[in-house]
Structure 1
Amino acid sequence: MTDGPITEEDRAAIQAQLGRSPRGLRAVAARCPSGHPAVVRTSPRLEDGTPFPTLYYLTCSRLCSLVSTLEGSGLMREMTDRLAEDEELAAAYLLAHQAYLAERDAIEPLGTEVSAGGMPTRVKCLHVHVAHSLAAGKGVNPFGDEALERLVGQWPSGDCA
């Protein structure tokens, strides 16, 4: 986990990763083993005032692709189903949601209890959860941690850039 200012080199790398100019950048929240940005922290509002509730944004192209493969496997539906069956998991996921809101609201409150990725009642976007896990550290977001565990051996390894 890192949290540092965005350099011009970072900004160029993020633009190349996204294929467009990044919006609302605040900091690099996590880096790949090769040193390029993997997760950025964004502002709760874009420059024009539009709410942007995705506090952590996954930018590493390789990791995004791997997470998309997990999403395509039906994992999100399986995770959501487990929330209804496992009270301990549901409680941990609620805490992840609350932590996400607290971090976002410490920057700028949006006046909403909506966080990101379907929290706290469903799993809607694994990219958000993986980004949250990488930025906040293991043990904060159970589904982000689980997705990263499923990718061990594929990431982090090598030069992702």
Structure 2
Amino acid sequence: MEHPATPEDIAVVEHQLGRYPRGMVAVGARCVCGRPLAVVTRPLLPGGIPFPTTCYLTGPSAVKAVSHAEAAGVMAEYNAMLAEDDALKAAYERAHRLYLAFRHELAGRLGDSEEHIEGISAGGLPTRVKCLHALLAQTLVMGKGSNPIGDLTMARISDEFSPDVCRCTVE
């Protein structure tokens, strides 16, 4: 909640997603130009709908680059790495606990219940790689080292996306 969402941020994210960003409470990461790259979403959406994906990737260049990585089969490679590398597996489990703690603090600040999503994080954490978008969003929001698969994804797509290089388009 360091950077609460402004009406302007919400309008930009609505344009990025092509729909209204339900439950958006903050911008967790920005492009160097200032546009949102990843947002923080409350644990309960309007109407009381549980939503475990607290860190949500919105920047079009990031979303596109991650989609290319997923289409290239990177998730299978990362899942194999998790199965073979105990240190990576332990770091990924820590990422899961960090995600839950982050959401729990947010839920406490907002008065949101986590009862229907307790123990559930995002992206396949803590046992498999299911969504690189969510895992990269965690890295962008919480910083390098927060999610090893998010970090690997960031390195993998660096020719197509970097938060330090503006690739935003203005329509």
Q: TM-score over 0.5 for the alignment?
A: yes
Counterpart CA distance in 2 for 1:133 and 1:144 is 5
Residues 110, 55 of structure 1: alpha-carbon distance in 2 compared, 3 angstrom cutoff? same
Counterpart CA distance in 1 for 2:158 and 2:167 is 15
Q: Map Cα deviations across residues 12-62 of structure 1 (whole Å, 9 max, x no partner).
A: 110000000110011000001221000000000101111000000000011
Partner of 2:94: 95
In the alignment, structure 2 segments of 5+ residues that lack a partner are 108-112
Instruction: Provide TM-score, normalisation by structure 2.
Output: 0.89
Q: 1:113 aligns with which of 99, 115, 119?
A: 119
Structure 1 runs of 4+ aligned residues shifted over 4 Å read none
Counterpart CA distance in 1 for 2:167 and 2:132 is 22
Is the CA contact (8 Å cut-off) linking 1:76 and 1:126 kept in structure 2? yes
Corresponding letter in the other structure for 1:119: L
Partner of 1:160: 168
Corresponding letter in the other structure for 1:140: S
Counterpart CA distance in 2 for 1:3 and 1:127 is 22
Instruction: Provide TM-score, normalisation by structure 1.
Output: 0.95
Q: Among the aligned pairs, what percent are the same residue?
A: 46
Is the CA contact (8 Å cut-off) linking 2:31 and 2:166 kept in structure 1? no
Q: CA-atom RMSD, angstroms? A: 1.3
Counterpart CA distance in 1 for 2:120 and 2:148 is 18
Is the CA contact (8 Å cut-off) linking 2:122 and 2:134 kept in structure 1? yes
Provide the aligned length of Structure 1 versus Structure 2.
160
Counterpart CA distance in 1 for 2:167 and 2:17 is 17
Is the CA contact (8 Å cut-off) linking 2:53 and 2:134 kept in structure 1? yes
Corresponding letter in the other structure for 1:158: C
Does residue 131 of structure 1 match 2:130? no
